[in-house]
C-alpha cells in the first residue's frame, strides 16, 4: 500500500459524494444561483428544481413531496421533529437507550421543560423487547422515537412490530432512519412511520443537507424551530440550500435505482472482512448478526485498546464510536447499554463499508488490522 492510499471504512460517519451528485449540483453554484423564492424567471426555475428534488427525496421513502421539509441534516431534522411536538397535549416520550446522541440529548431537553421520558433498554444483541414498549405506553404517551438501523452496530429494529403497537395505542412513531435511508428499502406508508429524519451525506450526497418527513395523514401540528421568512410552509425558515437540495435529490434518485445492486456487493465484502477479522483470538461481533444493515460490522478485539488500534492503522479509516466522535476515551453508550463492559466497549471497532469500497481494500484492511491488533495485544 502506498503512503498516500487511504482505505476508507468509516462510511457510517460520512460518505464520498458520488460524481453524478456533484455534477448535478455544480450548475446551482454558478449558473442557476437565484433565490428559490424569487418571483422572476430565474427564481421560478430554481423553485421548480427544488420541487423536483423534493419529489426525488420523497420517492426514496414512498412519501409525498409536500411531506418533505429540507433541513441542514439529520440532527436538525431530529430536533425539529421532537421539539416541534412541544405544544401537544400528551407529555410522555418513549425512546431507546441505544439511540444517537441527537435523540437522547433532545429528549433530555424535553425533560427539562416538563415532559416525561422513558429510556428503554435493549437485549444484549441490541434489539428492543417489543413487550417492554407495550408495557410502558400510557394514555399520556405522545411519541415513540426509535432508530431504524443503529449507527454503531448496524442493528435493525423490528420496525413493523413497533409500528403495529403504536398504531393500536394511537402513539406517534418518529424514526431516525439516518443510517438506513438510501441503503435499504423504506416505505413510510407501509411501515406506519409518522416522522422520519434523514441526511444526504450518509448515502453519497453532500454534507449540510437533510430532510424531515412529516406524515400528512397523521395531521401533526409541528412547531417551527427556526423563524423568519416562513419558507417551507412556515415549518423551517431561511434561504434554501439549493445546491445541497439538488444533491440530496440526485443521491435519492441514484439510491432508488441502485440500492439492491449495492447491497449484494457490499454485503459480500462486509462478510469477507468479518470472516478474516474474526480469526483474531476471542474476537466477536457486537449486536445481532441476522438483523443488521449490510454494510456494518462492529467487532470487539479483547485486550486491544481501540484508540491505539485506530492510530496504529494510519491510512485505514475506522471508528470506535458514533460518527460525531470518531476517537473518544469514553466507552460507547450504545455498547454499554447492550451489556458490554467498559473494557469490551473500549476494545471495539466499527467498520462501515460503502459504494466505493473494493475487494483489494478489504484484503489490505484484514491484514493490517489483524497484525496491528496482535501487536497491541502482545504489548498491553
Active-site positions?
324
CB 363 within 8 A of CB 355: no
- Extended beta strands in 301-363, E state: 316-317, 348-352
Half-sphere exposure of 96 (CA within 13 A, CB side): 32
Handedness of CA 15, 147, 218, 257 (dihedral sign): positive
Distances (CA, A) of 201 to 19, 43, 51, 180, 354: 13, 26, 20, 12, 12
Tell me if residue 110 falls in helix, strand or coil. Answer: helix
* d(C-alpha 74, C-alpha 128), whole Å: 22
Of 301, 315, 326, 305, the closest CA to residue 364 belongs to 315
Q: Percent helix, strand, coil in the chain (nearest 5)?
A: 40, 15, 45
CB neighbours of 355 closer than 8 A, spacing ≥ 6? 15, 18, 204, 262, 266
Distance between CA atoms of residues 275 and 270, nearest Å: 9
Amino acid at each position: 500500500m502506498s503512503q498516500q492510499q487511504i482505505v476508507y471504512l468509516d462510511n457510517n460517519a460520512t460518505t464520498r459524494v458520488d460524481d453524478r451528485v456533484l455534477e448535478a449540483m455544480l450548475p446551482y453554484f454558478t449558473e442557476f444561483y437565484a433565490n428559490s423564492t424569487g418571483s422572476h424567471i430565474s427564481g421560478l426555475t430554481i423553485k421548480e428544481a427544488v420541487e423536483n428534488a423534493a419529489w426525488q427525496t420523497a420517492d426514496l421513502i414512498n412519501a409525498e413531496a409536500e411531506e418533505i421539509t429540507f433541513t441542514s441534516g439529520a440532527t436538525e431534522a431530529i430536533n425539529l421533529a421532537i421539539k416541534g411536538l412541544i405544544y401537544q397535549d400528551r407529555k410522555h416520550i418513549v425512546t431507546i437507550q441505544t439511540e444517537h446522541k441527537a435523540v437522547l440529548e433532545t429528549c433530555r431537553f424535553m425533560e427539562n421543560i416538563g415532559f416525561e421520558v422513558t429510556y428503554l433498554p435493549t437485549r444484549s444483541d441490541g434489539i428492543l423487547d417489543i413487550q417492554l414498549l407495550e408495557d410502558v405506553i400510557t394514555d399520556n404517551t405522545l411519541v415513540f422515537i426509535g432508530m431504524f438501523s443503529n449507527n454503531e452496530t448496524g442493528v435493525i429494529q423490528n420496525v413493523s412490530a413497533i409500528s403495529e403497537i403504536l398504531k393500536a395505542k394511537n402513539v406517534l412513531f418518529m424514526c431516525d432512519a439516518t443510517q438506513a435511508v438510501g441503503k435499504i428499502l423504506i416505505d413510510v406508508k407501509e411501515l406506519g412511520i409518522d416522522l422520519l429524519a434523514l441526511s444526504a451525506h450518509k448515502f453519497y450526497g453532500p454534507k449540510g443537507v437533510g430532510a424531515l418527513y412529516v406524515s400528512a395523514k397523521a395531521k401533526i401540528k409541528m412547531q417551527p424551530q427556526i423563524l423568519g421568512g416562513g419558507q417551507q410552509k412556515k415549518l423551517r425558515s431561511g434561504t434554501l440550500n439549493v445546491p445541497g437540495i439538488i444533491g440530496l435529490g440526485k443521491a435519492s434518485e441514484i439510491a432508488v435505482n441502485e440500492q439492491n445492486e449495492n447491497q449484494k456487493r457490499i454485503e459480500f465484502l462486509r462478510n469477507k472482512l468479518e470472516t478474516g477479522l474474526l480469526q483474531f483470538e476471542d474476537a466477536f461481533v457486537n449486536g445481532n448478526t441476522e438483523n443488521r444493515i449490510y454494510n456494518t460490522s462492529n467487532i470487539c478485539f479483547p485486550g486491544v485498546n481501540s484508540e491505539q488500534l485506530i492510530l496504529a492503522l494510519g491510512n485505514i479509516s475506522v471508528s470506535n464510536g458514533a460518527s460525531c466522535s470518531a476517537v473518544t476515551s469514553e466507552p460507547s453508550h450504545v455498547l454499554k447499554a447492550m451489556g458490554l463492559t467498559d473494557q469490551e466497549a473500549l476494545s471495539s471497532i466499527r467498520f462501515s463499508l460503502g459504494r466505493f469500497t473494493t475487494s483489494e481494500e478489504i484484503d489490505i484492511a484484514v491484514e493490517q488490522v489483524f497484525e496491528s491488533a496482535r501487536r497491541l495485544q502482545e504489548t498491553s
